[in-house]
Amino acid sequence: MRFVALLIPVMLSQASVAASHSLVFKNAGRVIQEIQLDQLTRLSHSEQVQVINPVDDAEHTYLAVPTATVFDTIFGTSWRRGDEILMTCLDGYQPSIPVKRFLEHTSWIAFNAADPNPFEVRSRSNGKSIQLGPYYLIWENKQDTLIRSEGEEGWPYQLIGFDLISFSDKFPKLAPPLGASPHAKEGFLVFRKYCLKCHSINGEGGNVGPELHAPVNVTEYFNEKWLKIWLKDPSLIRRNSKMPAPFLAVKDPKKVDRMIQQIITYLKSIPKLRLSQ
């Protein structure tokens, strides 16, 4: 059974926020192509794609183009041997997804709803409407149980760019130091997956949330007991916190506790900076 409801050419006259925004493709930070919506839909036939949107846990149908096909055309097939895809959103959010995920699971770049409804979704957690355009990365999750279990992880909205990167080259100041413990190394992987898209270390990472190391590491001024509670659910400490609970999709509480401790161990392993730096 195919996951795509219908393959059709998209009428570009349909209203779309994406029509007024370009989508930038980079390789190791260097711009290789900047395209408009009409160019994007010429790279691959547009499709009506049905998915369960993890934001409201309801079925939606979007107009979209297959991500892998677009990457093959823009980057050439060498991207398939690459490391990571770093994405940039309008608000500065910068999630990074391993190339392996794109190869093992099916995704699309959505640019509009496939019906007269606005290209947005209402959050079931706070009832607020989220604008999804210009572009929205979506995944087949009606039959892919692994993607379904990960919830909102890897579904960035308001996308404006993709960058094919080597993680170690792009973020050389993030890795734990040589000789770091296995827990610190595991914490680094957890941090990359759940935290890096919003937070930075030594100026590297997202800028939606605060820097966590420079000039003083968060573990030095935040009591560890309260830091663990904050990482589990910020609303337990700050009502109406803008930071969501990062591990909401992880249903095993023991696993959440373990990941939180691993993140703290990783943060503590980062060499201290001189305050003059």
Residues 191-232: pLDDT tens digits? 988 999 899 999 998 888 999 999 999 999 999 999 999 999
Task: Kindly state whether residues 46 and 114 are assigned to the same domain.
Answer: yes
pLDDT of 15 > 80? The answer is: no
Number of helices (H) and strands (E), helices first, in the chain?
9, 14
> Domain with 264 in it: what CATH number?
1.10.760.10
pTM of the model: 0.72
pLDDT at position 193 is 86
Question: Residue 172's Cα: distance from chain center in Å?
Answer: 20
Q: Say how far apart CA 120 and CA 127 lie, in whole Å.
A: 12
Q: For residue 125, what pLDDT band results from cuts at 50, 70 and 90?
A: confident
Reported confidence tier of residue 13, pLDDT bands at 50, 70, 90: very low
**Spatial separation of the C-alpha atoms in residues 269 and 154, rounded to whole Å:** 27
The residue type found at 123 is S
Same domain, 157 and 213: no
pLDDT by residue (tens digit) across 127-142?
889 999 999 999 999 9
Last residue of a domain, one of 113, 143, 168: 168
Residues 118 and 217 in one domain: no
Q: Does 115 share its domain with 228?
A: no
Distance of CA 18 to the CA centre of its chain: 19
- List, in order, residues 6 or more apart from 265 with CB less than 8 Å away: 181, 183, 184, 187
Please say whether the beta carbons of 107 and 178 come within 8 A.
no
Q: Are residues 76 and 153 in the same domain?
A: yes
Same domain, 36 and 162: yes
Task: For 220-267, write each residue's pLDDT tens digit.
Answer: 999 999 999 999 999 999 988 889 899 987 888 999 999 999 999 999
Counting the structural domains of the chain, the total is 2
Q: Are residues 107 and 71 in the same domain?
A: yes
35: in domain? yes
Q: Please check whether residues 133 and 181 belong to one and the same domain.
A: no
161 - beta bridge partners? 24, 88
What is the percentage of the chain residues whose pLDDT exceeds 70?
A: 93
Q: 232 lies in which domain range?
A: 171-269
Same domain membership, residue 127 and residue 90: yes
Residues in Cβ contact with 79 at an 8 Å cutoff, skipping those fewer than 6 apart: 71, 72, 99, 164
Q: What are phi and psi for residue 235, nearest 5 degrees? A: -70, -15
For residues 17 and 6, the model is more confident at 17
Verify that 163 and 186 share a domain, yes or no: no
CA–CA distance, 116 with 16 (Å, rounded to integer)? 11
Residues 67 and 196 occupy one common structural domain: no
Which of 134, 168, 202 is at the close of a domain?
A: 168
DSSP tag of 29: T
Predicted pLDDT at 222 = 92
Evaluate whether residue 161 is within a structural domain. yes
How far, in Å, CA of 163 to CA of 28, rounded? 6
